[in-house]
């Protein structure tokens, strides 16, 4: 892949991710983190493995796991004292 194609692919992935995340309004914070982690992990896996399907899926799985385990789900009670 040449540099121009990689830039286009990265831009397309960013646009698709941002559009996809607009549907996260009804999700908990943990679910949003999982989705964002999977998206970022999938992009990173794709870039690092040269577009390999296995790398993309593996990156999405690892990113989703990290996003899910990054913070406890407080159920909207974070600001209560």
- Whether 81 shows a pLDDT value over 70: the answer reads no
Note the pLDDT of residue 22.
74
Inter-axis angle of helices 3-21 and 29-48, nearest 10? 170
User: Could you tell me how many helices (H) and strands (E) the chain has, helices first?
Assistant: 3, 0
Neighbours of 40 (CB within 10 A): 18
Domain ranges of the chain: 3-69
Question: Between 1 and 66, where is the model more confident?
Answer: 66
pLDDT one-digit tens code per residue, 40-50? 999 899 989 98
Q: What is the mean pLDDT of residues 26-47?
A: 88
More confident of the two residues 80 and 74: 74
């Amino acid at each position: 892949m040449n540099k121009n194609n990689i830039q286009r692919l990265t831009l397309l992935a960013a646009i698709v991710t941002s559009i996809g995340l607009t549907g996260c309004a009804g999700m908990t914070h943990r679910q949003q983190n999982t989705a964002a982690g999977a998206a970022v992990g999938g992009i990173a896996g794709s870039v690092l493995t040269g577009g390999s399907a296995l790398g993309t899926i593996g990156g999405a799985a690892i990113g989703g796991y990290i996003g899910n385990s990054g913070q406890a789900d407080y159920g909207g009670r974070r600001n209560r004292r």
